[in-house]
Amino acid sequence: MHLSPSLLLPLLSLLTTTSANVEKTIFLAPSPVLVPALTPNLDDLGLQRLSPSSSYLRTQLNASFPTTHDDPTSDPTTDHSNRDTGTDTWYFLENLTPGQRYEVRLCWLATQPTKFTLTTHHPHTTISTPALLTSLTLYSSLLLSTQPPKPLAAPLIPDSASSSSFAPHDPTLTSDSVLFLRVRAEADYYSLDQELMRSVPPVVVDVVLDPYLGNVFPRSLVRTAGWVVLVAGLAAGLRAGWLGRWGGWLLY
C-alpha cells in the first residue's frame, strides 16, 4: 500500500472543514406536463433554472427579518405569509426524470446566519394557490424590473445567445417534468449595528440539484462516501501498523 503526504492533506482538511450550513428538500419528480400550455409566460418569468445537466448555481439571495403577527390591527385571516416570513426567491427545475428522487441543497457560510426553507411546487399548485402565485409574480416582476439586459439563467444560455428572451428552441408545447422551487430566506441574527438590523445583506449561496442514485444516495455525495471509506481504511491501517513509517511520521 503506497500513500503520499499529498493525499493526506486534503483528507485532513475534509475532516475539519465544517464552516458551511446546508438546508435541503427531497422530492420525487412529477409526471411531465405541457409547460407552455399550463403557464403561458413561463419563459417570461426570468427565473434561474436548474436541471440535471445544469445542476449548480452560485448566487445571492435577498433575505429579511420575519415580522410577527402580534400587531392587533392586522387581520389574522388574511394571508400575509409572503410579507411576514422572510423573502422568497424562486427557481425553475426542469428536464427532470419523472418518478426519480432528487434533492436540492442550499449551502451558505455560517458567517451569514439565515434560516432557509426550501419547498417545491407543481406548476398546477403554484398557479392555483393565491399565496404562491402572488409570491412568484412578485419575485418575477422584481427580477424583470432590475435585470432587463442580462439574463440570470447564464448557465443555460451561451454568451452569444439572444439576451432578450429565454425562448426554447422549439416554440411549440413541450412536455417536461418541471417544478417550481421556492426558497424562503429569514435573517437569523441580532446585531448592535443599526444598519445590519435595518437592511439585511444578500446571502451568497450555492444551489445544487442532485439526483439520487438508485433513489437512495445523492449522486454527488457518493464520492464523499468514498473518501470516508478511505479514511476509515487509513485509520485501520495505522492501528494495524501496516503504514509503519508513515504512521510514525503522522504521530510526531
Ligand X SMILES: *[C@@H]1O[C@H](CO)[C@@H](O)[C@H](O)[C@H]1NC(C)=O
Return residues touching ligand X (CB under 6 A): 62, 139, 142-143, 146
CB nearer to ligand X: give 166 or 246.
166
Question: How near is the Cβ of 186 to ligand X at its closest, in Å?
Answer: 14
Q: Which residue is nearest to ligand X (CB)?
A: 62
Minimum distance from CB of 171 to ligand X (Å)? 27
Nearest approach, Cβ of residue 142 and ligand X (Å): 4
The three state secondary structure string of the chain is CCCCHHHHHHHHHHHHCCCEEEEEEEEECCCCEEHHHHCCCHHHHCCEEEECCECEEEEEECCECCCCCCCCCCCCCCCCHHHHCCEEEEEEEEEECCCCEEEEEEEEECCCCEEEEEEEECHHHHHHCHHHHHHHHHHHHHHHHHCCCCCCCHHHCCCCCCCCCCCCCCCCCCEEEEEEEEEEEEECCCCCCHHHHHCCCCEEEEEEEEEEECCCEEHHHHHHHHHHHHHHHHHHHHHHCCCHHHHHHHHC
Least CB distance to ligand X at residue 36 (A): 24
Residue 2 CB, nearest approach to ligand X (Å): 52
Choose between 136 and 234: whose C-beta lies nearer to ligand X: 136
Identity of the residue, 96 or 181, whose beta carbon is nearer to ligand X in the bound complex: 181
Residue with smaller CB distance to ligand X, 104 or 200: 200
Shortest Cβ distance from residue 228 to ligand X (Å)? 38
Contact yes or no for 118/74 (Cβ under 8 A): no
Between 126 and 177, CB nearer to ligand X: 126
Beta carbon nearer to ligand X, 87 or 177: 87
